[in-house]
Amino acid sequence: MGAGNDPHGLSLIRGTPSGPVEGMQVGGVQRFLGIPYAAAPVGVNRFALPTLPEPWTDPLPATAHGPTAWQLPYTGALARLLPTKDIPGDGCLNVNVYAPDKHSPVPRPVLVWIHGGSLQHGANSLEGYDGTAFARDAVVFVAANYRLGAEGFSVLEDAPLNLGLADVIAALEWVKANIASFGGDPGQVTVMGHSAGGSLVAALLAHPRAASLVSRAIIQSAPLSAQPVNRARRMTQKIATDLGIGATREEFAARTPAELLASLQRVSTGAGPLEGGSSHALAIDGQLVPEDPLAAMLAGAGKQVPLLIGTTSEEARLWLVPSGRAEKITKVHLALARRKARIPHAAQKLFARNRPGAGPGELLGALATDKLLRVPMYKLADTRHYAGAQTQVYEFAWHSPVEELGAAHGTELPFVFDNLATADAIGLVGTAAPQSLASAMHEAWVCFATMGIAEWPTWDMRRPVKTFNGLANKVVLSPREDEADSLG
């Protein structure tokens, strides 16, 4: 350890099997940014499983964020709410490490963050994913990038499937091999994912190697299933048709990432998760995702891993309200969507009775939230309870005033990360978000990562749900159980 050139920080050197890295100690937190955990996915490594990076001898600068995965920015109303980071370079398979600056004779617990973004957006360098608050609270925080879109989730005839998931596994293997150098305990690793990142965590839990990679898991607002190959390949085929090429590794690799992104932009319908339009998806295959993750977990996969899982109370508002689409949904649209999703009419009547004055758009959002997220979550929690697996369930119910989002998808993240003052957070939850709620929610996540259990009761047949709303933050028994059961 020696003094660096930055007058506001101290230069730090840490060894890894690939070579030394040079980070910075700033504000009581050690930061090592952009460390490659796998070789750049270019050339012979494109559309291939991740491999170890080439070793180096001189200290690798790790004081600035590394390249991001190739991606398009959000469009429409989402562009106002969800930021995009674009750092050029080939080495997108990198991790950021935030560690406490105080020496501890006991290794620290580790929390590994897998960002969301529909498998097409996101980066570990987003301001909202800064791990300073976790390091401040004695947790070694790691945020990983993984391949997105066509680069990470194409279904090609002669290439491995689910490469983005393979990247996440490689990042976790890097953590196991290297985190002790940063003060972390490789035997106490919690993996946390939101939205699409949570779907990747679900796939990890369903994998036979889950217990060897992670000790605990957190899934936030995530679908728990993967798609059959014939459905998962739809976006790949659309891109191939648009470019006039075959859906093969050779022909996709002959196109630059920019060309594939331009094609994706042309063929994307703009449909969100409520419409079920074509998008990149996890595919059920014989290797990384041998069966549907939810089915595997219902059969007992991952039961040895304690799980913290939850949703926001108004997930669908992110896609319906800022765009103005909620106001355009009629009773006819609601009826058609309900039938397509095989939701009983009695369930719609129950939801309407519980929401006096709600319009068709609000009812569709509530039905979709429960059908896609809450019902599978409750079913999994019930099954894990019967199997003796520890599960804790939460719901985030604080209402963001920004564009009338309410408790929409993603609004819990600034509270989990306890970074309400960042521009990313302000853009999503405004300037008056309650710090007391951030402190409570962040503390619960730290507690789970540190001790393997948060402060509220584990799931049983009473169905206890910790509700974070900025007021009492109470544990509620069986919240809206009648609604979930009416759909399930």
Residues identified as active-site: 195, 315, 409
Q: Give 354's contacts (C-beta < 8 A, 6+ positions apart).
A: 480, 483
CA distance 206 to 243: 35
CA distance 156 to 233: 8
* Residue pair 202/228 in contact by the 8 Å Cβ criterion: no
- Bridge partners (DSSP) listed for residue 10: 3, 25
Closest CA to 439 of 460, 419, 459: 419
Residue 349 CA from chain centroid, whole number:
33
Phi-psi region of 388 (alpha: psi -120 to 50; beta: other; left: phi over 0): left
CA distance 98 to 62: 11
The helix-helix angle for 331-340 and 360-369 (nearest 10°) equals: 20
Eight-class DSSP state of 374: I
CA distance 273 to 78: 13
Cα angle, residue 389 at apex, residues 388 and 395 outer, rounded to 5°: 125
Q: Give 276's contacts (C-beta < 8 A, 6+ positions apart).
A: 340
Token pair of 361 as six digits:
């758009």
* Residue pair 484/375 in contact by the 8 Å Cβ criterion: yes
